[in-house]
Structure 1
């Protein structure tokens, strides 16, 4: 009948208990790393060269951007500086000027590299030189260059400004308390000059004067050309001249049309009078002459108007041809006049900037001059704390790496259920510096079962032996298992094996056999599959161990090692050496086992390696106890071995031996 299992499902994955187990197991590693970090922090604290800091503050009200060609309205920039975004840009620009490499070079040249980088005199530098690492120190003294001195200024300089504030805080750190305020003072002096160079061109006056002369010359040329064209066309303004000519042409055309109409009327009247006079009355000569004179006058007027209209048309054509040139010259004149006014105003500003004193700029002032140097310990303290914290953190990371990633063994019994999903029957702790179960073999007799570090006189069936409570618990669970699965036949075969060598199977098998023999339910036979026929089980103080085939014969009388407890091996006296129990030989012994008068036969079986006979014998066992050694057996190996065993017969119970609990009980909620 299949085994009835009531397993508690545990979620897979890493749990808090695994992390605590890894940390407390390797607490020495963490302590060592922490001590190394503390030693390094102490060395830095006492050997780190002291640093002195001087501070200054600048108030930036506004910045006038004058490149020498700005419009006169640029003075309104002060009013625009009230905008927060504009103010932040201004402060950012001034910060970049203060931290620029050009300014650092100017300060380094003014003070001198040897003064800024004197030979080091602190203890740390002497230690570095003493150990032969002088090349790691920066250049100093006569070998220092301007670039290296500027680099030291840039590395020690710090410029900050709070958002929304127009105050710039400038600080400089140096190991020499006399150099710190000196560098800061020189930096501020050079900054004001650099500010004018950036925002107000130093050659503005000459540049603007030259530009003004060029614009004035172009303006004169445009005026002369425009004057010549106006004289040629006879107009003062293109727009007004075009309108006047158009009006004059229209008026002349109107007069010409009127004159032609008058001429036609007069000619018609003369013809009419001539025709009527010849028929009715004779016209006076004076009237005829007057009419002809009037007609002649009208004709002369028409000719004059035509000549005038022709002249107007000629002038109109000439004006239309010269109009583009006049318009271009007028536009050019307007632009040159605007440019001339622009450069005239800029010339006046450049003249003012030329004479402006950098130290008396109204928009930037020093709120605080360089303060006396003060000892600065923040960097040293932060570095010391970082070393201490880094040592502890490195120890924790190393412990977690080794315990959770690199180490693939089963450290905690609960890992069998949470990670391998293998039900756990019992775990036997590592107690009082001794292994939970004793190892197989000894230097004198490698094949024998030894007591290891425990006292040889204390046998597993002794009431004081620590294994007895665990063996009694296993006995009770085996009895419950046999009852639930209706296993009432005799003898009941129980095998004890391990995943690897020295798993403690011999101690467990002997203790379990002794525990079963005390129930008065019948005789118990302990079969040691690991020993040869002439070897003696040390637990039984030299009492003989009989061959298995002899112990199973009902007719043979064998001596008991204890009450209802008998000892046997699988070898024969003729073979000698380690036992060789194959599957066929074991199968041939099955009738004798069933016919024997033993109630339980406990097999102390070899570990599960590739050539172990345990693989074949396991299927014949009514119950197989698989011992896993904590912190030694690989999880994948355990999983493969367990899977292979239950594939043959689902009768395997797993025990964890030598389990340790490194976590304090008040912190270990899973213990």
Structure 2
């Protein structure tokens, strides 16, 4: 029952725990707090005094884009990746490259760090060289700090060691091996050998293609099929133009012959050269005399008879007939014609004979042109085949020459790149090499600060725990709460 009452009392105290309770506990457990705090601080001071000295060497690596990175490609112009700004990802990548296990392993071997590590006392089995190197790599990784500096292109690298000489040596070895690895990571191995081998193969192919071209010209009997074909085509065009002109001349001559023949058919072979006309005077005189007589007779009859009298009318008719005969005689005199050969007819006959002669000559010339045209066309077909063969050989030779020059240039670029790599011209450089640190890091202040903090926490926690586990009743309130009865009087511990 008493235990239950105590537990209930403790629960009530937990629920009503205040800052005053903390102060009360601190006052009651002041000796324990002071002793605990001083003890921990003293232990910290001893540890700070006994800790070995650590020397920290530092170096800085600059990442830049001074050297353009060439990309291996079959293009004639080698693409170049040229950038000026360094990204945060590149800085982190270089930092991870510095922290890589294989690089740290090489640094361990180069500085013989595996021999400096002592085997833990709890390890009974002896370690081989690989295990020692692995342990040294882990220790080196813990002691190494690699951090890109913000807002710069620098990477800060620091290493802590007991020996200042060793600290500087490790960082310098790390820088040298890191530069080699950086060059190896950004370089395609075997570039120069590959390009040189390809250039030699294309040089041999080019030599073979040139020999084929020489043999082709000698065997086919042509030096330049393209030029010869051009000349042959020009001649063929001229002959075809002459043939068309001959055909036009033939058509013109035939039309001319037909026209001349038609004109000759319509022309007489002789023409009148002289025409003489004259009247018949005797006939005209007789007819005029008769007319005069008839007129006299009519006059005589009109004196005696009426105009309607039959004999008068008959005389009138004879007069009209005589006058008509006189008029017809005047209109149709006597005609005397003289004829001779027609010169137009003779000229046209001569022109027709000439046209027929020219037609025969033109037809013969057109036939000769057709034969020449067939000959030149056959020659052009042969020259076409020879030109295609030569063009194929020329393309092959040109392609081999271009590839030879391409790989020869790329081999030279690879050789220059290898030379730059050997001279360590790269986009990373040690901006600040590691130097031997002369002053060790003062860790006693840090140890003492940690001791003070740890002593304060430990003393407070220990005082609270000790006070909680103390079963004595220390105040009237605790007595009243425990017994359930009021306290009549309370006497101090010292009896006053």
Alignment TM class, shorter chain as reference: 0.5 to 0.7
CA contact (8 A) 2:65 2:86 kept: no
Distance 2:232 2:459 in 1: 103
Equivalence map 1:169-180=2 (5 Å): 169-180=156-167
CA contact (8 A) 1:57 1:168 kept: yes
CA contact (8 A) 1:67 1:200 kept: no
Q: Which residue of 2 aligns with 1:656?
A: none
CA contact (8 A) 1:54 1:374 kept: no
The answer to whether residue 354 in structure 2 is matched with residue 287 in structure 1 is: yes
The answer to whether residue 434 in structure 2 is matched with residue 370 in structure 1 is: yes
Distance 1:139 1:200 in 2: 41
**TM-score (norm. length: structure 1):** 0.42
Report SS of the residue matched to 2:476: coil
Aligned CA distance change for structure 1 residues 308 and 397 (closer, same or farther; 3 Å): farther
Q: Which residue of 2 aligns with 1:403?
A: none
**TM-score (norm. length: structure 2):** 0.54
Distance 1:112 1:261 in 2: 106
Report SS of the residue matched to 1:171: strand
Give 1:300 shift: 1.6
Distance 1:20 1:63 in 2: 65
Gaps (5+ residues) in structure 1?
1-16, 401-430, 442-448, 459-463, 466-671
Report SS of the residue matched to 2:149: coil
1:345 maps to which of 409, 419, 427: 409
Q: Which residue of 1 aligns with 2:101?
A: 101
1:191 maps to which of 172, 178, 198: 178
Q: Which residue of 2 aligns with 1:556?
A: none
Aligned CA distance change for structure 1 residues 383 and 314 (closer, same or farther; 3 Å): farther
Distance 2:20 2:76 in 1: 78
Alpha-carbon displacement from aligned partner over 1:597-619 (angstroms, at most 9, x marks no partner): xxxxxxxxxxxxxxxxxxxxxxx
Q: How many residues align?
A: 381
1:151 maps to which of 123, 138, 158: 138
2:169 maps to which of 182, 193, 209: 182
Report SS of the residue matched to 1:206: helix
The answer to whether residue 303 in structure 2 is matched with residue 300 in structure 1 is: no
CA contact (8 A) 1:42 1:384 kept: yes
CA contact (8 A) 1:69 1:208 kept: no
Equivalence map 1:620-659=2 (5 Å): none
CA contact (8 A) 1:113 1:144 kept: no
Report SS of the residue matched to 1:155: helix
CA contact (8 A) 1:266 1:295 kept: no
Distance 1:393 1:251 in 2: 117
Aligned CA distance change for structure 1 residues 317 and 109 (closer, same or farther; 3 Å): same
Aligned CA distance change for structure 1 residues 72 and 318 (closer, same or farther; 3 Å): closer
Distance 2:462 2:139 in 1: 38
Distance 2:148 2:213 in 1: 58
CA contact (8 A) 2:57 2:171 kept: yes
Give 1:50 shift: 3.8
Equivalence map 1:334-483=2 (5 Å): 339-355=403-419, 358=422, 361=425, 366-374=430-438, 377=441, 433-435=475-477, 438=480, 454=487, 458=488
Give 1:19 shift: 8.1
CA contact (8 A) 2:202 2:400 kept: yes
Report SS of the residue matched to 1:184: helix
Aligned CA distance change for structure 1 residues 93 and 72 (closer, same or farther; 3 Å): farther
CA contact (8 A) 1:208 1:347 kept: yes
Alpha-carbon displacement from aligned partner over 1:276-302 (angstroms, at most 9, x marks no partner): 557756846973662343232343255
Aligned CA distance change for structure 1 residues 107 and 287 (closer, same or farther; 3 Å): same
CA contact (8 A) 2:107 2:177 kept: yes
Equivalence map 1:98-247=2 (5 Å): 98-117=98-117, 119=118, 129=121, 134-135=122-123, 144-200=131-187, 203-217=190-204
Give 1:343 shift: 3.0
Q: Which residue of 2 aligns with 1:51?
A: 54
Equivalence map 1:485-500=2 (5 Å): none
Give 1:265 shift: 1.7
Q: Which residue of 2 aligns with 1:614?
A: none
**Looking at both structures, which has the greater relative contact order when contacts are Cα pairs under 8 Å and sequence separation is at least 6?**
2
Aligned CA distance change for structure 1 residues 236 and 369 (closer, same or farther; 3 Å): same
Alpha-carbon displacement from aligned partner over 1:88-117 (angstroms, at most 9, x marks no partner): 666555444433323222222223354342
Equivalence map 1:586-625=2 (5 Å): none
Report SS of the residue matched to 1:435: helix
Question: Which structure has greater helix proportion?
Answer: 2
Give 1:433 shift: 0.7
- Bigger Rg, structure 1 or 2: 2
Give 1:26 shift: 7.8
Report SS of the residue matched to 2:362: helix
Q: Which residue of 2 aligns with 1:84?
A: 85
Aligned CA distance change for structure 1 residues 293 and 243 (closer, same or farther; 3 Å): closer
